[in-house]
Chains A and B, each alone.
Chain A
């Protein structure tokens, strides 16, 4: 099955400004386990692409924060999650029916607990 993880950058990824708790290694591991990964941030798209280059990873998507719905439309998956450190992240996730983790929760890599063969998206409860 396909599960999509959308990472905010500033305050979420370690390469963000300010740095967040989700390390490049965690993102790489998520990719290796088979998650569809990409970023959804208020940073310019060109800056997002540069950050993925710096991480030496190829994202399935880079997106502006208000375009999370487009990410869903363009990337078929069985479950969708976004993570970030601002209310705007929470709202974007909620509006587009993504599951959501705050950045400090994401730093615990909750996706590694998922059963990749049998998974239902965890609804937003925050």
Chain B
């Protein structure tokens, strides 16, 4: 089926979205969260987990497979639907339906249609990007009338529980600069080091943020830590983390896990029939940049994230003070301050994020940043960035429910260099 192109809202000025309030996020479903796959248990494969998540999402919405007319996903969870980690081949495959990579290291809509028996699909797209972009893409597809009841699928596979282990002992081309120091990590540490120098701060000042995220994550039942390592993560833990690049500690990196999530998104009309309160999509915007030199700098980062934030405000018509729930990505924890400062959430300006962390960012306080715990608190699933804002706005976040107003949420990720922003509201207007 179709490969969607040019659906993104990334040409400034984007203006208020003409699909505003026409699509709603209503339900979520999650699989168990495992650290890795044992290579044997097909009931714990990524495909099996994806089916569990889809069924849970349908049950949560109070609908059946026959109600669904669209599947929009990222088969492998990364850009262009690619998987992040190793593939299974050339090891021998299993009996159908596990006789190819589909179902093991990525999960397409076609595979799900066959296994789960979807009969009324009129739109399938597996080429999506990270989960923010998928919610944006599904919102656009619904607003454009391509489908009315869409299941958004986000499988996060990780067979060995680790990734980007480059066995090569050679680095070629532009990779000669960063790869001799390990995948991507030295670059993120470098940018953060520039941030620290520019604003007179330091890595230790990240501690209150990461500790709070871990605390919040323990209250999310799908978190890897809630399920497998439920003890308290302390400031002492953070400050003793091994540096894996300058100014980037092992506890600034999200833990690879294997899990799947699904969301039900519907047209505003259909939203009225759903079991859960609809959360309307007010806007989606996307962005993609290129560094000015071989390595991303703090200047690049601040320029890009400023554009991302202004594009989102332009698309939604909101101001910083309108955002109740703010969920900026933390796949490396050192990303998050760039986003907070760009969006100016709670009045935080450039260079002030670490002061903000030192204040009250507790879950029940006035500034409940990443109330779901982010990737630091849940593992590398990214889906808490959709599920938590959804549940906060629906008023069903349980122990994680914030005590501040929860009517408008903004969630933003994945990287400063390429991101999607989704604006959600309890009201379609």
Residues of A that sit less than 8 Å from B by CB: 17-18, 42, 44-47, 50, 64-67, 88
**Could you say which of B35, B161, B240, B243 contacts A45, with CB atoms under 8 Å apart?**
B240
Tell me the smallest distance from the CB of B204 to a CB of chain A, in Å.
Answer: 15
Tell me the smallest distance from the CB of A82 to a CB of chain B, in Å.
Answer: 14
Tell me the smallest distance from the CB of A120 to a CB of chain B, in Å.
Answer: 30
Question: Judging by beta carbons under 8 Å apart, are B242 and A65 in contact?
Answer: yes
**Could you say which of B232, B234, B242 contacts A64, with CB atoms under 8 Å apart?**
B242
Q: Which residues of B contact A88 (CB under 8 A)?
A: 242
Tell me the smallest distance from the CB of B142 to a CB of chain A, in Å.
Answer: 41
Q: Which of A42, A44, A47: most chain B CB closer than 10 A?
A: A44
Question: A46-B236, A47-B231, A88-B242 known; 5 other A-B pairs, CB under 8 Å?
Answer: A17-B35, A44-B233, A45-B234, A66-B242, A66-B243
User: With A50-B231, A64-B242, A66-B242 in contact, do A45 and B237 touch (Cβ < 8 Å)?
Assistant: yes
Could you give, for residues 239-256 of chain B, a 1 whenever the CB lies within 8 Å of some chain A CB and a 0 otherwise? 011110000001100000
Q: Which residues of A contact B321 (CB under 8 A)?
A: none
Question: Judging by beta carbons under 8 Å apart, are B36 and A42 in contact?
Answer: no
The interface size of chain B toward A, counting residues with CB under 8 Å, comes to 17
At the interface, yes or no: B229 with Cβ under 8 Å from chain A? yes
At the interface, yes or no: B11 with Cβ under 8 Å from chain A? no
At the interface, yes or no: B172 with Cβ under 8 Å from chain A? no
Q: Main SS of the interface on chain B? A: loop
Which 7 pairs of residues, A with B, have the shortest CB-CB distance? Answer: A44-B237, A66-B242, A64-B240, A46-B237, A50-B231, A65-B242, A46-B234
Cα–Cα distance between A50 and B236 once the two chains are bound (Å)? 15
Sample (28) of A-B pairs whose CB atoms are under 8 Å apart: A17-B228, A18-B35, A18-B36, A18-B161, A42-B242, A44-B233, A44-B234, A44-B240, A44-B241, A44-B251, A45-B234, A45-B236, A46-B231, A46-B232, A46-B233, A46-B236, A46-B237, A47-B231, A47-B237, A50-B231, A64-B240, A64-B241, A64-B242, A65-B242, A66-B242, A66-B243, A67-B240, A88-B242
Q: Which residue of A lies closest to B233 (CB)?
A: A44
Cα–Cα distance between A44 and B229 once the two chains are bound (Å)? 11
Q: Which residues of A contact B233 (CB under 8 A)?
A: 44, 46
Q: Which residues of A contact B243 (CB under 8 A)?
A: 66
Q: Which residue of A lies closest to B242 (CB)?
A: A66
Cα–Cα distance between A17 and B161 once the two chains are bound (Å)? 10
Cα–Cα distance between A42 and B242 once the two chains are bound (Å)? 7
User: With A47-B231, A64-B241 in contact, do A42 and B250 touch (Cβ < 8 Å)?
Assistant: yes
Q: Which residues of B contact A64 (CB under 8 A)?
A: 240-242
Tell me the smallest distance from the CB of A57 to a CB of chain B, in Å.
Answer: 18
Tell me the smallest distance from the CB of A67 to a CB of chain B, in Å.
Answer: 7
Q: Which residues of A contact B232 (CB under 8 A)?
A: 46
Q: Which residue of A lies closest to B36 (CB)?
A: A18
Cα–Cα distance between A44 and B57 once the two chains are bound (Å)? 34
